[in-house]
Amino acid sequence: MRLSRRSLLAGGAALAAASLAGCAREAGVADPMAGRSTELPEEPVTIDWLSQELSDNEGNDLRRTLIEAFHKRHPTITVRLVQVPPTTDVRRTTLTTQIASGAVTPDVYLGDCAWPAQFAHHSLAMPLGMLSDGADFWSGYPDPIVTAVSYEDRAWAFPMYLDIAFLYYRADLLHKHGLEPPATWEELHRTAGRLTEAGDVRYGFVWQGASSETLTCNFAEMLADAGGALMDERAEEVLVDSDAGRRALEFMSGLVADGVSPAAVGTFAEEQAMTAFSGGQSAFLRNWSYAWGAANAPGGSAVAGKVGATLRPTFEGSGRPRLSTLGGWHNFVNPHTRHLGAALAFARWVAQEEAQTIMATTSPYTPTLSSVLADPEVVGQDNPTFGLSADAEFVVRPTQSPHYPQISKAIYTTANPLIVDGGGDAGAVLSEMAEGMRRARDGEAL
């Protein structure tokens, strides 16, 4: 799937300010909205929004900017920020426990694009209506994003921002040596080696190899670069044990074995890899869209103004360039909230033009609304990731399975030791990984 510029423009023109409240109806399916008011409150109310910190281009808190703009539109609704657990996996587990026990807060929570199927299956999110009932509204977003927030033809979250993986590079060092950004992984290997041998950087390439969801994303991309896939599009057949799987795993572990990536990359999540790159220690970084802002943060990065970005390379001989895992964060509504109208209004407002434009023009976060993403003023900003986004091809993880967290765990727990060790029997690892994924798919794994 791809965010083509043509589809962005077509989708943006069709956006309507449709209210989705009250659309969550389907024969035989309980409707958590039944009998509850979805109207805006006439008396002052306060709702809690759980969201990780989001910094704008000046290092300020984007969340507070959005909250202030929303409050001007809806003076009766005050949005209060809730402190979040430190990592995505801990955040998901905490919310799962909290909402399953009937907690009424947070009223709105920012969740990963991999969550909708699991949270819908376990009644941890408010259904926002059948996609067919809100066709005008959802036509304002690219198809891959609509698919990501839906499960069994219903929407379960309002889109906030899109994450696409890019290759960030030290433009100053490539210029110094007369080199171009690498188009293949083999070329990156050679270039990284040249820059480290010259003493320009300590590491050639940093990425995310920690035993967590972040490694699943990195492996899914490398696997697709090699022509393979984790599972089929319906998340039913496990396909990972393949020649492409062996090529991907052997290359990733070989980066460590050859000294292109540090052994510590096996413990790196986004933050650790970002710190190494923005501290000037690495020539290349794989990271999400937000990293452009972090790498160029005034006073916060040693390489500000020296960085370039491009879509990810692929393997030599592969016909699949520009691949990226589809990532992003979207606002879910707690099905137990006591302020349903206010919670729906805020979550929906963040997905629409005013909030999306604020985000696109003041921060590095990629908007999800097609009309804003295609706006020449947005694309033309000093942030190449906005312009590159339309040319990315997406790698889809099997997130349509309600057992995706267990499937992902089977992937990263088996791949991580091979990376930490810098090599091993990739065939045996893939066999174990595939068996773990099948058990997870069938609901037999914890």
Domain ranges of the chain: 45-162+327-388, 166-325+401-442
Q: How far, in whole angstroms, is CA 210 from its chain's centroid?
A: 16
pLDDT band of residue 192 (cuts 50, 70, 90) is very high
Give the Cα separation of 54 and 81 in Å (integer): 12
Q: What single-letter amino acid sits at 362?
A: T
Main-chain phi, psi angles of 311, to 5 degrees: -70, 155
154-155 and 366-367 beta bridge pairing: unpaired
Strand pairing report for 327-333 and 158-163: antiparallel
Question: Higher confidence at residue 243 or residue 21?
Answer: 243
Centre a 10 Å sphere on the Cβ of residue 383 and count the other Cβ atoms it contains. 20
Which CATH number is associated with domain 45-162+327-388? 3.40.190.10
Q: Do 245 and 220 meet the contact criterion of CB atoms below 8 Å apart?
A: no
Report the SS3 class of residue 393: strand
Tokens representing 278 are 């923005």
Predicted local distance difference test score (pLDDT) of residue 26: 41
E strand segments, 106-165:
108-112, 150-151, 154-155, 158-163
Taking the C-alpha atoms of residue 307 and residue 277, their distance in angstroms, rounded to an integer, is 10
Query: Across residues 76-93, what is the average pLDDT?
Result: 90
Three-class SS of residue 241? coil
What pLDDT sits at residue 59? 85
pLDDT(435) > 70: yes
Helix axes 213-225, 404-421, angle to 10 degrees: 80
pLDDT exceeds cutoff 50 at 206:
yes
The residue length of the chain stands at 446
3-state secondary structure 303-335: CCCCEEEEECCECCCCCCCCEEECEEEEEEECC
* Position with higher pLDDT, 3 vs 67: 67
Q: Are strands 323-325 and 393-395 parallel, antiparallel or unpaired?
A: parallel
Q: Cα-flanking dihedrals φ and ψ of residue 437, to 5°?
A: -65, -40
Per-residue pLDDT at 2:
59
Angle, CA of 402, 334 and 291, to the nearest 5°: 70
Q: Is 3.30.300.30 the CATH classification of the domain at 166-325+401-442? A: no
Rg (CA), the chain: 22
pTM of the model: 0.86
> Which of these, 100, 145, 138, 137, lies nearest to 118 by C-alpha position?
100
Task: Determine the Cα–Cα distance for residues 199 and 188; give it in Å rounded to an integer.
Answer: 17
Per the listing, tokens 């096996």 go with 266
Q: What order do you get walking across the sheet with 307-311 strand by strand?
A: 203-206, 282-287, 166-170, 307-311
C-beta atoms surrounding 75 within 10 Å: 9
Q: Select from 405, 415, 430, 373 the least CA-distant residue to 6.
A: 373
**How many angstroms separate the first and last alpha carbons of the chain?**
31
Alpha-carbon distance of 374 to 368, in angstroms, equals 10
- Enumerate residues 6+ apart whose C-beta is below 8 A from 202: 196, 262, 281, 282
pLDDT tens string 244-300: 999 999 999 999 999 999 999 999 999 999 999 999 999 999 999 989 989 988 788
Peptide bond into 106 cis (omega under 30): yes
Please state, in angstroms and rounded to a whole number, the distance separating the CA atoms of residues 296 and 199: 23
pLDDT average, residue stretch 137-158: 94
Highest mean pLDDT among 21-25, 292-296, 352-356: 352-356
> What is the pLDDT at residue 3?
58
Distance CA 75, CA 44 (A): 8
Query: 231 φ, ψ to 5°?
Result: -145, 175
Answer for the pair 303, 379: CB distance below 8 angstroms, yes or no: no
